[in-house]
Amino acid sequence: MAKRSGVLELAVLGLLHESPMHGYELRKRLSSQLGAFRALSYGSLYPCLKGLVRQGLSTESTDPDEGGTRRSKIVYQLTADGKERFQQLLAESGPAAWDDETFGVRFAFFGRTDADTRMRILVGRRARLEERLDNLKGSFARTRERLDDYTTALQNHGLDSVEREVRWLNELIDVERNRKQTNTTPGSGAQGPGDTTKE
Amino acid sequence: MAKRSGVLELAVLGLLHESPMHGYELRKRLSSQLGAFRALSYGSLYPCLKGLVRQGLSTESTDPDEGGTRRSKIVYQLTADGKERFQQLLAESGPAAWDDETFGVRFAFFGRTDADTRMRILVGRRARLEERLDNLKGSFARTRERLDDYTTALQNHGLDSVEREVRWLNELIDVERNRKQTNTTPGSGAQGPGDTTKE
DNA sequence: GTTAGCATGTAAGGAGTTACATGATTTT
DNA sequence: AAAATCATGTAACTCCTTACATGCTAAC
């Protein structure tokens, strides 16, 4: 009954892990930093934050007016339990982690995810996309000439997008593999995947 | 209270407009042909179909066993009202029509959409994406160096995807404009946008 | 002075999923 | 004979949005 759900909770825990924040600020970060939750409503966010407090994952401190005379912000800060829960959620990452909506959020927190989990998610995501690719190509072959040009154009664009993401994932997976060979100790050496954007 | 909602209803009306079908078949087409509704559950589809019947947009005929001894399929066929409703929904296409989930479905039915509406949707969609592009580029400039490499890689990939879709839309809009000049009578001449997939 | 942005919340409802229930048919 | 696929449906539940309610501050 206290199951304040999956992705949003993870995303909020992740951002609060970086630094304490109030709800309004959090909402902006969710869209600008994580990309997901483009226009999350306060009707979702505030109850979620209250839920974290209820579960003892965050504290709520009415920051009493720093400077201006604004309505006093409510700053949320993760407890030790909250930080632990975040790590636990990151480590779990089952098949749900390679969904369209979830993957982006998981990926955004790769900086604090261990190498095995990173690899598992990347490979899982790629498998998911390749499966989709097979479906697209299959139905493409089956329905050839039965579709009008607009539908075909749409399917081609979709196909290209998925293929692009697979290539992107391949590059990321390569980088992870190289890192594994050259650098076994986590937390040292060069960080991140580098710029794999250009083709 | 009878508001059996937006996109799904439109998609179902569109597919039933092409040919009468039963629910199970319809579900496959929704994912393979339209791309949207990748794994729509029957818990959504069947109530929606019942809703169409309730509204007098479709008839329900228990097709009595054609060949095999299968559980008799229930074939849904649009009424005149249903066909009219489909055209009406296509023509409306307000700002909701350029949402991520909605746009694909609208576009898939461009073959039965008039030229003005097509252009309105394409331009609206492009504006929506360019707005998103501005946000991404803005926050990119603002938060430069404050994000780890994974987050940056994610944002770059997102940026590239949006830019790609804008280029795709630009090509489609060009094609529409040319068609407008050379061919004023709708329903005659060459159909569709051609293959604008390659770069 | 009024529009835009900051800041927090609640209640009602929409759109969909999951889990359950049933049973025939085709393929392995 | 088992497993996959065809075929239809319902009830409960989840996650999220919309619409409402409030009030302050900065910019134009």
pLDDT at B143: 75
Residue B7 CB in 7 A reach of strand C? yes
Name beta bridge partners: A133: none
**Res. B192 pLDDT band, cuts 50 70 90:** low
Convert the pLDDT of each residue in A29-68 to its tens digit. 999 889 889 889 999 999 999 999 999 999 999 876 555 5
Token pair listed for B93: 């296409």
Average pLDDT over every residue of B124-134: 93
Lowest mean pLDDT among A90-99, A119-128, A131-140, B22-31: A131-140
B174 closest CA partner among B130, B116, B139, B122: B122
Q: Which amino acid is at B66?
A: E
CA of B109 and C1' of D12: distance in angstroms? 35
Average pLDDT over residues B66-94: 85
A188: three-class secondary structure by DSSP: coil
Q: Tens of pLDDT along B100-117? A: 989 999 999 999 999 999
Q: Please provide the DSSP assignment of A58-86 as one string.
A: EEEEE---SSS-PSPPEEEEE-HHHHHHH
Q: Is the pLDDT of residue A174 over 80?
A: yes
Mean pLDDT, residues A3-11: 83
The Cα A146–Cα A152 span in angstroms is 10
Packed helices B23-32 and A115-143: angle between N→C axes, nearest 10 degrees:
110
Q: Find where tokens 């042909």 sit.
A: B33
> Which nucleotide across the nucleic acid strands is nearest to A6, CA versus C1'?
D15
Strand partners, A29: none
Contact flag, residue B70 CB and nucleic strand D, below 7 A: yes
Q: What is the pLDDT of residue A65?
A: 56
pLDDT of residue B189: 46
- B141: chain A residues, CB-CB within 8 Å: none
Cβ contacts of A161 within 8 Å, gap of 6 or more: B161, B164
Q: Residue B176 and residue B122: Cα distance in Å, rounded?
A: 10
- Res A70 pLDDT > 80: no
Model confidence at A94, pLDDT cuts 50, 70, 90, reads confident
B79 in contact with A at a CB cutoff of 8 Å? no
pLDDT at residue B69, rounded to an integer? 52
A6: closest CA of chain B, how far (Å): 19
Q: What percent of chain B has pLDDT above 70?
A: 83
Task: Please tell me if residue B11 touches chain A, with a CB cutoff of 8 Å.
Answer: no
What tokens does B111 get?
Answer: 């073959």
Q: Model-level pTM?
A: 0.88
| Residue found by looking up tokens 């937390």 in the block | A187
* pLDDT tens-place string over residues B155-176: 999 999 999 999 999 999 999 9
Task: Identify which of A111, A153, A160 has the shortest CB distance to residue B150.
Answer: A111
- Report the distance separating Cα B47 and Cα A72, nearest Å: 47
